[in-house]
């Protein structure tokens, strides 16, 4: 049960004055909480934090006010000049003066009666807003505030500026936030005194007050103590939630998967290359986990082409030696089929049967597959999320391997745990994730990293080229195709868009087809599965030599003899995505190159991104740079990806708090695993406040 002290914050936002269903719908666009399908609550508004602050203490007088500055002026109202009758597009002006000069307060579509009431001729008034100068004349269009000189004290001196959406006025949002602040109950402090002292953190109410009612503009900056206090609260809530998931997952009794190494040896002998040092370390870490009676929860991070699939296969061989089945879940059907193509021949040499189960299998084929899985005849089952539907029964699932983890969140980890007798879990990602993000998203997991490329891989030469040189590039690609090489050509859009002036995959395909004819193919996300597969197979088998595509090829498509990667409008892609795409080439013995085509003018961030791509192929360096340049929210598309999007914390500014939060959460859960002590009860409030309700449900007594 949720603590009753939190009830005021869990009430619907429509219980606030001035917030009806229409305004509540607009508020849903500005609250940072991931609402899912629920309505906005009062507590969500507390974390709508200002993106900037207006300082209305500046009172320079009319003559001293700079163009574009927000100023506060005390003026005398001289006269009104209404819009001429029948010409509502001409503004209504109210002329005023102070001892330094004159100003016109300008209003469009104004109501004369209302203006005569708030700006009576002969009155002293205080106005605040943005200054404009035109031909030496001062003007203020629609002042933000107008009060009589007697009421000047009621004017906000320092005013937070919040993110808005079309139809939502700043005053409506600010009023709703102030009402939410008034409903904030007195909550027991959940932070340790030592942590509060070490970081000079204020209490929760004081921190929120400093952000929503700052006494100094700097109070509301993200790097100041008020914001950092809330960021630490959120990071601690996240680490506690992950710790509770980990405890729950481990509590589902695991089992020891021990083997004699025979099957695994046969696979190693069948490999055409020797394993890298980091592959060997990862395998020994995984084997040690599998032998323990507790469940394995391990994240295997490895750059594109670092050999994660082989590590997973050797882990699955160990499970088979112990008499258990393994399942490998991939995010797309293309990737699942590719895993089958890699794994099945090697597994067969060791006497193991690998099968593919996707949503496309129908009728007798599907029922035969399900029978092989249920009887245990299939040792390794590869597929998409269809693997974990209720209709799929495993004979004895001992190991679940999940590929491209950033597309599967904590909830999916728990759902997969329900299949079989609490299988061990190995999660693989080819997206090198910065250490700070690993801690926030996978704090419940142990981590293995593959840091080398397999033997024989050559570096990919990366060059940047302006779009003006497109014809030179096409001529060079024609020469390469004549030599028997293959090229990917990536575009950011599927089809032409009037909104964004970028070349689409369909347009580029049509333009290149005139030159290359049948040697060119097209693949994008809107094609049906069969057409997509046919286009990919045609390219892999050499029927086509150039493949124009969208980022549908970003994940896992393996064409070892492709040697050229062209990325058009490279400035529009994130670093991680550029790195993933570049990783599609350089997989064979031949030298490969990547051409980043850009259109001028380039912004500073785009320039920085392209130069990082030229300078390094190290995915982990690239990931850290991506975090620095973009911030965590954009980095992995948090809402779509199962990565945690933060309401308050910004990892590029608050990463130094993360390790403290992790250590603190571990200490709490070691000493008070059910959160029953006074601090534990207070921490339950914290979990609810930051939307970690799922974690509270994992507590046996909660």
The pLDDT assigned to 642 comes to: 40
What is the arithmetic mean of pLDDT over 134-152? 90
Output the pLDDT for position 414. 56
Beta strands in 331-389 (DSSP E): 354-357, 380-383
- Calculate what percentage of the chain has a pLDDT beyond 70: 89
What pairs with residue 386 in β-bridges? none
Please check the confidence at residue 419 and state whether its pLDDT lies above 70.
no
Q: Which CATH superfamily is domain 57-155 in?
A: Nucleic acid-binding proteins (2.40.50.140)
**Structure tokens that stand for 557 in this block:** 């498509």
- Average pLDDT over the chain, rounded to an integer: 86
pLDDT for the residue numbered 465:
92
Least confident of 105-114, 263-272, 373-382, 554-563: 554-563
By 3-state DSSP, what share of the chain in percent is helix, strand and coil, each rounded to 5? 45, 20, 35
Q: 12-41, pLDDT tens digit by residue?
A: 999 999 999 999 999 999 998 877 778 999
Q: Which architecture, in CATH terms, is 460-616? A: 3-Layer(aba) Sandwich (3.40)
Q: What is the pLDDT of residues 357-366, one digit of tens each?
A: 987 778 888 8
Work out the angle at residue 464's Cα, subtended by the Cα atoms of residues 459 and 465, and round it to the nearest 5 degrees. Answer: 140
Mind listing the pLDDT tens digit for each residue in 283-294?
Answer: 999 999 999 888
pLDDT band at 456 (very low <50, low <70, confident <90, very high): low
Alpha carbons 283 and 271: distance in angstroms, whole number: 15
- Residue range 54-98, pLDDT digits in tens: 888 888 999 999 898 899 999 999 999 999 888 878 899 999 999
Look at strands 562-567 and 592-598 and give their pairing. parallel
pLDDT of 407 reads 54
E-strand stretches of 118-269 = 124-134, 137-141, 145-148, 158-161
- Give residue for tokens 């193991």: 352
- 63-75: pLDDT as tens digits: 999 898 899 999 9
Give the range among 309-323, 446-460, 649-663 with minimum mean pLDDT: 446-460
Q: Alpha carbon of 441 to those of 332, 665, 673: distances in Å?
A: 22, 14, 20
Q: In the sheet that 520-523 helps form, which strands lie side by side, from edge to edge?
A: 460-466, 592-598, 562-567, 486-490, 546-549, 520-523
For residue 645, the model assigns a pLDDT of 65
Q: Tell me the backbone φ, ψ of residue 504, rounded to 5 degrees.
A: -90, 165
Q: Is the pLDDT of residue 669 over 50?
A: yes
Coil, strand or helix: which one is 312? helix
Say if residues 36 and 28 touch (Cβ distance below 8 Å): no
3-class DSSP assignment, residue 399: strand
pLDDT-based confidence at residue 552 (cuts at 50, 70, 90): low
pLDDT of residue 497: 46
DSSP conformation letters of 284-330: HHHHHHHHSSSPPEEEEEE-TTS-HHHHHHHHHHHHHHTT-EEEEE-
Q: Is 340 helix (H, G, I), strand (E, B) or coil?
A: helix
- Number of Cβ atoms within 10 Å of the Cβ of 57: 12
Span 656-667, mean pLDDT?
Answer: 91
Query: In angstroms, rounded to a whole number, what is the distance separating the alpha carbons of residues 448 and 603?
Result: 36
Residue with the larger pLDDT of the pair 228 and 574: 228
pLDDT of residue 499: 41
CA distance linking residue 414 with residue 426, whole number of Å: 13
For residue 243, give the DSSP letter: H
Does an H or E element contain 51, and which?
Answer: none
Q: Taking CA 228 as the corner, what is the angle to CA 223 and CA 232, rounded to the nearest 5 degrees?
A: 145
Mean pLDDT, to the nearest integer, of 536-553? 85
Helix (H) or strand (E) holding 254: none
Q: How many helices (H) and strands (E) does the chain have?
A: 27, 21
Question: Which pLDDT band, with edges at 50, 70 and 90, does 655 fall under?
Answer: confident
Task: With a cut of 50, say whether residue 643 has pLDDT above it.
Answer: no
- Can you give the three-state secondary structure of 601-655, one letter per residue? CCCHHHHHHHHHHHHCCCHHHHHHHHHHHHCHHHHCCHHHHCCCCCCCCCHHHHH
Count of beta carbons in the 10 Å neighbourhood of residue 85:
6
The radius of gyration of the chain from alpha carbons, rounded to an integer in Å, stands at 31
Q: What is the pLDDT of residue 421?
A: 66
Per-residue pLDDT tens over the stretch 470-492 = 999 999 999 999 998 999 999 88
Q: Please state which CATH number belongs to domain 262-450.
A: 3.40.50.300
How far the first Cα of the chain sits from its last, in Å, is 6
Asked whether residue 513 carries a pLDDT value surpassing 70, the answer given is yes
Q: Residue range 618-640: average pLDDT?
A: 61
**464: Cα within 13 Å, side-chain hemisphere:** 19
Q: Which DSSP string corresponds to 529-579?
A: HHHHHHHHHHHHTTS-SEEEE-GGGTTT---TTEEEEEETTGGGS-HHHHH
In the chain, where does the domain assigned CATH 2.40.50.140 lie?
A: 57-155
Provide the pLDDT for residue 121: 95
Whether the full predicted model's pTM is greater than 0.85, yes or no, is no
Paired sense of beta strands 92-98 and 325-329, if any: unpaired
Predicted confidence at residue 254, as pLDDT, reads: 73
Q: Where in the chain is the domain with CATH 3.40.50.300?
A: 262-450, 460-616
Calpha distance 508→531 (Å, rounded): 19
Question: What pLDDT does 408 receive?
Answer: 55
User: In angstroms, rounded to a whole number, what is the distance separating the alpha carbons of residues 630 and 617?
Assistant: 19
Nearest CA-CA partner of 357 in 317, 397, 412, 324: 397
Q: Which residues pair with 261 in a beta bridge?
A: none
The C-alpha atoms of residue 699 and residue 702 are separated, in whole angstroms, by 5
Sign (positive or negative) of CA dihedral 109, 115, 121, 126: negative
Q: Following DSSP, what letter does each residue of 229-266 receive, concatenated?
A: HHHHHHHHHHHHHHHHHHHHHHHS--------SHHHHH
In the three-class reduction of DSSP (H, G, I as helix; E, B as strand; rest coil), residue 458 is classed as coil
Maximum Cα–Cα distance across the chain: 99
Alpha-carbon span 594 to 578, nearest angstrom? 10
- CA angle (196, 198, 202) in 5-degree steps: 35
The alpha helices in 75-192, defined as continuous H runs, are: 112-118, 170-183
pLDDT number for residue 340? 92
With residue 110 as reference, give the H or E element that holds it: none
Average pLDDT over residues 187-209: 96
135 in Cβ contact with 95 (< 8 Å): no
Question: Tokens 């939502």 appear where?
Answer: 168
- Structure-block tokens of residue 576: 């991680």
Residues 6+ apart with CB under 8 A from 232: 191, 195, 199, 201, 649, 654, 657, 660, 661
Instruction: Grade residue 633 by pLDDT with cuts at 50, 70 and 90.
Output: very low
């Amino acid at each position: 049960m949720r603590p009753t002290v939190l009830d005021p914050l869990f009430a619907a936002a429509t219980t606030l004055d001035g917030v009806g269903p229409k305004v509540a719908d607009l508020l849903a666009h500005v609250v940072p909480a991931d609402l899912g399908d629920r309505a906005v609550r009062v507590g969500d508004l507390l974390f709508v934090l200002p993106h900037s602050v207006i300082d209305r203490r500046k009172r320079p007088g009319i003559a001293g006010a700079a163009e574009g500055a927000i100023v506060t002026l005390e003026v005398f109202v001289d006269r009104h000049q209404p819009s001429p009758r029948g010409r509502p597009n001409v503004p209504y002006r109210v002329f005023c003066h102070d001892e330094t000069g004159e100003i016109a307060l300008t209003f469009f579509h104004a109501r004369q009666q209302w203006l005569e009431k708030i700006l009576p001729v002969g009155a002293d008034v205080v106005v605040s807003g943005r200054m404009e100068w035109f031909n030496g004349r001062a003007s203020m269009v629609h002042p933000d505030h107008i009060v009589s000189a007697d009421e000047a004290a009621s004017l906000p001196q320092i005013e937070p500026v919040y993110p808005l959406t079309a139809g939502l006025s700043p005053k409506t949002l600010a009023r709703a936030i102030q009402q939410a602040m008034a409903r904030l109950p007195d909550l027991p402090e959940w932070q340790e005194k030592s942590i509060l002292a070490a970081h000079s953190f204020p209490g929760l109410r004081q921190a929120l007050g400093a952000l929503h009612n700052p006494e100094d503009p700097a109070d509301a900056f993200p790097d100041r103590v008020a914001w950092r206090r809330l960021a630490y609260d959120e990071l601690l809530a996240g680490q506690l939630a992950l710790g509770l998931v980990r405890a729950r997952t481990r509590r589902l009794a695991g089992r020891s998967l021990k083997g004699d190494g025979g099957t695994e040896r046969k696979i190693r002998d069948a490999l055409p290359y020797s394993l890298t040092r980091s592959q060997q370390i990862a395998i020994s870490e995984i084997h040690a986990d599998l032998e323990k009676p507790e469940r394995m929860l391990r994240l295997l991070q490895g750059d594109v082409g670092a050999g994660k699939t082989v590590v997973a296969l050797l882990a699955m061989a160990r499970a088979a030696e112990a008499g258990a089945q393994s399942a490998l879940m991939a995010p797309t059907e293309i990737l699942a089929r590719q895993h089958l193509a890699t794994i099945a021949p090697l597994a067969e040499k060791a006497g193991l049967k690998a099968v593919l189960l996707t949503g496309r299998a129908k009728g007798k084929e599907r029922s035969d597959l399900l029978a092989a899985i249920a009887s245990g005849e299939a040792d390794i089952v590869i597929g998409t999320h269809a693997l974990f539907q209720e209709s799929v029964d495993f004979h004895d699932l001992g190991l679940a391997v999940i590929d491209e983890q950033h597309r599967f969140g904590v909830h999916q980890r728990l759902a997969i745990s329900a299949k079989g007798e609490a299988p061990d879990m190995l999660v693989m990602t080819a997206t090198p994730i910065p250490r700070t993000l690993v801690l926030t998203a996978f704090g419940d997991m142990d981590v293995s990293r593959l840091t080398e490329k397999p033997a024989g891989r050559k570096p990919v030469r990366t060059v940047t080229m302006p779009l003006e040189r497109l014809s030179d590039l096409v001529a060079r690609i024609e020469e390469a195709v004549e030599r028997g090489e293959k090229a990917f050509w990536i575009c950011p859009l599927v089809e032409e868009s009037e909104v964004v002036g970028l070349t689409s995959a369909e347009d580029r395909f049509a333009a290149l087809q005139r030159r290359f004819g049948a040697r060119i193919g097209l693949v994008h996300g809107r094609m049906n599965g069969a057409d997509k597969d046919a286009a990919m197979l045609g390219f892999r088998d050499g029927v086509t030599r150039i493949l124009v595509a969208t980022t549908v090829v970003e994940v896992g498509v393996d064409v070892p003899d492709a040697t050229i990667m062209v990325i058009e409008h490279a400035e529009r892609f994130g670093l991680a995505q550029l790195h993933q795409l570049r990783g599609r080439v350089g997989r064979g013995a031949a030298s490969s190159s990547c051409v980043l085509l850009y259109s001028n003018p380039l912004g500073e961030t785009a320039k920085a991104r392209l130069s990082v791509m030229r300078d390094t192929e190290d995915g982990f360096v690239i990931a850290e740079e991506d975090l620095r340049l973009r911030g965590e929210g954009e980095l992995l598309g948090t809402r779509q990806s199962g990565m945690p999007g933060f309401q308050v914390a910004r990892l590029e500014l608050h990463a130094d708090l993360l390790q403290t939060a992790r250590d603190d959460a571990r200490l709490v859960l070691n000493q008070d695993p059910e959160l029953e002590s006074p601090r534990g009860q207070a921490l339950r409030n914290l979990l609810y406040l930051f939307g970690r309700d799922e974690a509270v449900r994992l507590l046996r007594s909660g």
